[in-house]
Amino acid sequence: MSALLEVENLRVRFRTMGPVRAKLAGVADPFLDAVLDVSFRLEAGTTFGLVGESGSGKSTLGRAIMGLVPIHSGRIRFMGMEPKGRSDRAFAGYRRNMAMMFQDPVASLSPRLTVKSLITEPFVIHGLRGRNLDAEARRLLDLVGLPSHFAGRYPHQLSGGQARRVGVARALALEPKLIIADEPTAGLDVSVQGEILNLMVRLQRELGLTYLIITHNLAIVRHICDAMAIMYMGRFVERGPTSAVFAHPAHPYTHGLLAAQPHPDPDRRRETVELTGEVPSLARRPSGCEFHTRCPWAQDRCRAERPQPQSIGPGRELRCHFPLVAPAAAAPATDRMPFQA
């Protein structure tokens, strides 16, 4: 099967200061690498979860795929097309089959437009004025489970869950193949979170959608993603099928993230914090393995030598000199692993 989306050795960098100032300050390389050496394939009809702390580059990767930030090197291929070096017209063609669901649904909806205008705006942008917009609005609202009289409402008249649904409807307007969802349930109550995720899963089944879900909520990834990647300082440190990664996290960072999830059981309180400190500044990347400053099991080799990606099973890739090996064995594991009963 050919992949819907292919990303190869992608690198996205941001300039930190102008060339003159860099020269005066003696900074040879005034850039930050937000995404580094990222490669993965996304098969049609599947869900891929991107996980990491703030500043890990997960949103930048999503935006690069959307064509919202320029690529420095590497390649993105989506349905045979690339997002760079093309005219606006061709670029609209690239974007025609993908849509983005933004993090804060109320902020991403213009407060002056009605729900109908909001969800039919993509037709106008892509020059599909011939469509019956009223009918399209009704169809889209129905698809996301909102009554058709919502078409006349304004964003401030919507609850958090309803605004989220409008965000989904807007993303679905042009019948995209790929939806990039940035924190699709951040800020929602657990009951509403379930509703939105169930809606996304149902739409995937009915419309054959492919999802790239950017989130830091591992519980969600575990339930709805087929494959996942853990990002740290712009790199994929671990990637693989969700069930395999959760069953045996091989990278210490993955393990730490899993251990940091609070578990709603007062008898399973954690007495220690496995992952301390925070992500270092991208301007000062640590030597060797970038995670060594926080890794509880770092050794001399980790400080000196950067680990290269290695395959550790079907679809699984890892960047670590001393992977945690599956159960109980060599892993200097903590007393328990989350998500395992």
Partner 1 sequence: MAAIAQTAPERIAATDAVLEVRDLSIDFLTPRGPVQALRRVGLTVPRHSTVGVVGESGSGKTTLISAAIRLLPDNAEIRGGEVLFEGQDILRMSPRQLRDLRGRRISMVFQDPMTALNPVLSIGTQMVDIQYRDKGLSTAAKRDRAAEMLRRVGIPDPRQRLDNYPHEFSGGMRQRIAIAMALLGNPELLIADEPTTALDVTMEAQIIHLLRELQKDYKSSILFISHNLGLIAELCDYVVILYAGTVVEQGSVRDVFHRPSHPYTEALLVCDPALLQETTRELPTIPGEVPDLAPPPPGCIFAARCPKVFDRCRVEDPAATWVAEGHMARCHLAAGRT
Of the candidates 219, 242, 220, the one whose C-alpha atom is nearest the C-alpha of residue 230 is 242
| Shorter beta-carbon distance to partner 1: residue 84 or 268 | 268
Contact region for partner 1 (CB under 8 A) — 13-21, 32-40, 83-91, 194-202?
Answer: 194-202
CB 225 within 8 A of CB 315: no
- Establish if 293 lies at the interface with partner 1 (CB under 8 A): no
- Kind of pairing between the strands at 47-51 and 227-232: parallel
DSSP conformational letter for 29: -
Yes or no: say if 177 and 4 are a contact pair by the CB < 8 Å rule. Answer: yes
Exposure of 149 in the CB half-sphere (CA atoms within 13 A): 1
Helix (H, G, I), strand (E, B) or coil at 317: strand
- CA torsion 99→103→109→111, rounded to 10°? -170
Q: Which two three-digit tokens encode residue 144?
A: 């996301």
Query: Of residues 207-246, which lie at the interface with partner 1 (CB under 8 A)?
Result: 216, 218-220, 222-224, 242-243
Shorter beta-carbon distance to partner 1: residue 5 or 259: 259
Query: Applying CB under 8 A, which of residues 37, 195, 285, 316 lies at the interface with partner 1?
Result: 195
- The window from 1-9, 132-140, 166-174, 185-193 that contacts partner 1 (CB under 8 A) reads 185-193
By the rule CB under 8 A, 276 interacts with partner 1 = yes
275 scored as a contact of partner 1 (CB under 8 A): yes
Figure out which of the listed residues 32, 113, 201, 207 binds partner 1, where binding follows CB under 8 A.
201
Among 1, 25, 28, 190, binds partner 1 (CB under 8 A): 190
Q: Give the C-alpha separation, 146 to 165, whole Å.
A: 8
Contact between 263 and partner 1 by CB under 8 A: the answer reads yes
Write the DSSP symbol of residue 27: -
Query: By rule CB under 8 A, what count of residues binds partner 1?
Result: 45
2 counts as binding partner 1 under rule CB under 8 A = no
191 lies in the binding site for partner 1 (CB under 8 A): yes
Shortest CB 260 distance to partner 1, Å: 4
Rank residues 174 and 186 by Cβ distance to partner 1 and give the closer one.
186
Stretch that binds partner 1, among 206-214, 262-270, 284-292, 325-333 (CB under 8 A): 262-270
87 contributes a contact to partner 1 by CB under 8 A: no
Stretch that binds partner 1, among 13-21, 22-30, 186-194, 282-290 (CB under 8 A): 186-194
In the chain, which residue ranges form alpha helices assigned H by DSSP?
Answer: 19-25, 58-66, 88-95, 115-125, 133-143, 160-172, 190-207, 218-224, 242-247, 252-260, 300-304
Using the rule CB under 8 A, give the single segment among 106-114, 122-130, 274-282, 304-312 that binds partner 1. Answer: 274-282
Give the helix/strand (H/E) hosting 42.
strand 31-43
The single residue listed with the structure tokens 């003696």 is 26
> 3-class SS at 41?
strand
Q: Does 120 bind partner 1 (CB under 8 A)?
A: no
Collect all residues with Cβ–Cβ distance below 8 Å to 164 and sequence separation of at least 6. Answer: 105, 184, 185, 188, 192, 196
Q: Answer yes or no: are the C-beta atoms of 56 and 280 closer than 8 Å.
A: no
State the minimum distance, in angstroms, from the CB of residue 225 to partner 1. Answer: 10
Min. distance of Cβ 194 from partner 1 in angstroms? 4
Each residue 31-70 as x (binds partner 1 by CB under 8 A) or -, in order, gives ----------------------xx----------------
SS3 category, 177: coil
Selection from 284, 236, 268 nearest residue 51 by Cα: 236
Q: Which spans of this chain sit near partner 1 (rule: CB under 8 A)?
A: 53-54, 159-160, 187, 189-195, 197-198, 201, 216, 218-220, 222-224, 242-243, 256-257, 259-270, 272-273, 275-276, 278, 339, 341
